[in-house]
Amino acid sequence: MKKTVFLGALAVTGLAAGAAAAGTLDDVKARGKLNCGVTTGLVGFAAPDANGVWEGFDVAVCRAVAAAIFGDPTAVEFIPTTGKTRFTALASGEVDMLARNTTWTFTRDVDLKFEFVGINYYDGQGFMVPKSLGVSSAKELDGATVCIQTGTTTELNLADFFRSNNMSYEPVPIETNAEAQQQFLAGACDVYTTDASGLAATRATFENPGDYVILPEIISKEPLGPLVRHGDNAWGDLVRWTLNALISAEELGITSANIDELRKGTNNPEINRILGTEGNLGEMLGLSADWAYNAIKAGGNYGELFEKNIGENTPIGLSRGLNAQWKDGGLIYSPPFR
C-alpha cells in the first residue's frame, strides 16, 4: 500500500501538472472539499474539540467559504500548519487558503506573492505584568525582564519600542505560548508580551486572573486576515467577498436567526443582492445565487462569530474595540455589494 501510494503519486504527477492549470475554484469543486490552513491550535481562533471538530474565529472563515461554495460548512479539510510551514503550504497548493491569524505585512504580500483578501481581526502587541509590580504604563518598564517568543514579529516590535523610548530590557526567549505562561507564572520574567488577544486568552487561564494586568499600550499593528496565492484572482475575489458578506451582514442586521425571514424579500436592495434574491452576484463569482446566504447561515455574521468565539461572554473576553463596525467607531468596513 505504502509503495503504491508513493509510486502512484509519481505516476499521476504528470497528469496533475496539466490539471493544476485550471482555476482553484474548479479544483476545490472537483475535490468536493476546501483545504483550509489553520493554526495547530490557538485559543479562540482555531482548536479541535474532543470529537476532533475544529472551532474558532479563523475556522469560521474557512467554514463560511466552504458554505459559499458547497452550501455545506462541514465540507472543509482543516490542515494544521505551524508558523514555519504555513507559507509553503499555501504556495505549494497544499491548502487553498490560509486563515491562520497571519499578520498582513508588505513582504508577505509582495515578496512571498500572497494576496491578503481582507482583515478579520485587528490585533496589536501588548504587555501583561503582575499587579504586584505596581506598573501602570509600558513606559515604566525600564530594566524589566521580558518573556518573548523567538522568531516572531513581536520580538522585533519589542526591541523597537524599548529603543525608541530609551529603555533597556532583558529578554527571556521562549518557544511556545504554553512555555511562556509557565515562565511568567513562575516569575522568571516580569513582563509577558504577545498579541493582545493572546494576552487576554492567557490571562483567562490563570488561577487568579485578577493578580495580573494588561497594560494599556499597544505597540504594534497586527492586522490579521485570510490570504490566498497570487495568480488566481477569481479565487481571491471569492474569499474576499465571502468575508465581506459576513461583515456586511452584521452592518445590515442580517443574523443567522433572521436570515430565513429576510431571504423572502426585503425593501433593502443591498440585503436582497447579498442574499441572492436580486441581481446575479453569485453567478459573477461562479457560485450559486444563495452563496452568501449559506456563508452567513454557516455560523452567523461577523459580529455573531466574534461574540461566539472571542467576545466578551467567552473566557477570553475581548471587547470589540478596533474590531467594531465602522459605524460604531471601529475599523471593520466592507465595500458595498453592488
Partner 1 sequence: MTQAAFVRTEMVPEQAPPITSSGVIGWMRKNLFDGWMNSLLTVVSLVAVGALLYEILPWIFRSSWTAGSLNECREQIKEAYGPDASGACWAVIRERYAQLTFGFYPSELYWRPILAFILMLGAMAPVLFSNLPRKLLWFSGLYPFIAAWLLWGGSVWGPLSALAGFIIGFALLLAITPRFGAILGVIAAVLGPIIWWTLLSGTVIDVLDSIIPIALEPVKSRNFGGFMLSITIGVTGIVASLPIGIVLALGRQSDLLIVKSLCVGFIEFIRGVPLITLLFVASTLLNIFLPPGTDFDIIVRVMIMVTLFSAAYMAEVIRGGLAALPRGQYEAADALGLDYWKAQRLIIMPQALKISIPGIVGTFIGLFKDTTLVMIIGLMDPLGLSTAIRANQEWNGIVWELYGFIALVFWIFCFSMSRYSMYLERKLQTENH
State the residues that interact with partner 1 by CB under 8 A: 1-13, 16-17, 19-20, 27, 39-52, 56, 77, 79-82, 84-85, 88-89, 91-94, 176, 178, 181-182, 201-202, 204-207, 314-316
Tell the smallest beta-carbon distance from residue 326 to partner 1 (Å).
29
**CA-to-CA dists, residue 11 to 56, 93, 138, angstroms:** 38, 19, 59
Tell the smallest beta-carbon distance from residue 37 to partner 1 (Å).
9
In whole angstroms, give the CA distance from residue 290 to residue 213.
46
Tell the smallest beta-carbon distance from residue 45 to partner 1 (Å).
8
In whole angstroms, give the CA distance from residue 319 to residue 307.
9
Tell the smallest beta-carbon distance from residue 22 to partner 1 (Å).
9
User: Which of these, 33, 70, 38, 73, lies nearest to 297 by C-alpha position?
Assistant: 73
CB nearer to partner 1: give 11 or 331: 11
CB nearer to partner 1: give 229 or 297: 229
Q: Give the residue carrying C-alpha cell 509510486.
A: 7
- 160-169 long-range contacts, Cβ below 8 Å, gap at least 24? 160/219, 161/219, 161/220, 165/139, 167/139, 167/141, 167/142, 167/143, 168/142, 168/143, 169/141, 169/142, 169/143, 169/144, 169/145
In whole angstroms, give the CA distance from residue 255 to residue 184.
40
CB nearer to partner 1: give 4 or 164: 4
Tell the smallest beta-carbon distance from residue 12 to partner 1 (Å).
7
Tell the smallest beta-carbon distance from residue 207 to partner 1 (Å).
6
* Residue 105 and residue 225 in contact, taking contact as beta carbons nearer than 8 Å: no
CB nearer to partner 1: give 28 or 271: 28
Tell the smallest beta-carbon distance from residue 275 to partner 1 (Å).
32
Distance of CA 12 to the CA centre of its chain: 34
In whole angstroms, give the CA distance from residue 152 to residue 158.
10
Q: Residue 128 corresponds to which cell in the numbers above?
A: 501583561
Q: Identify the helix (H) or strand (E) that includes residue 214.
A: strand 212-214
CB nearer to partner 1: give 24 or 220: 24
CB nearer to partner 1: give 50 or 257: 50
CB nearer to partner 1: give 78 or 291: 78
Is 111 exposed, middle or buried (CB count within 10 Å of its CB: 0-12, 13-18, 19+)? Answer: exposed
Tell the smallest beta-carbon distance from residue 87 to partner 1 (Å).
9
Strand partners, 127: 193
Phi, psi of 16 (to 5 degrees): -65, -35
CB nearer to partner 1: give 181 or 277: 181
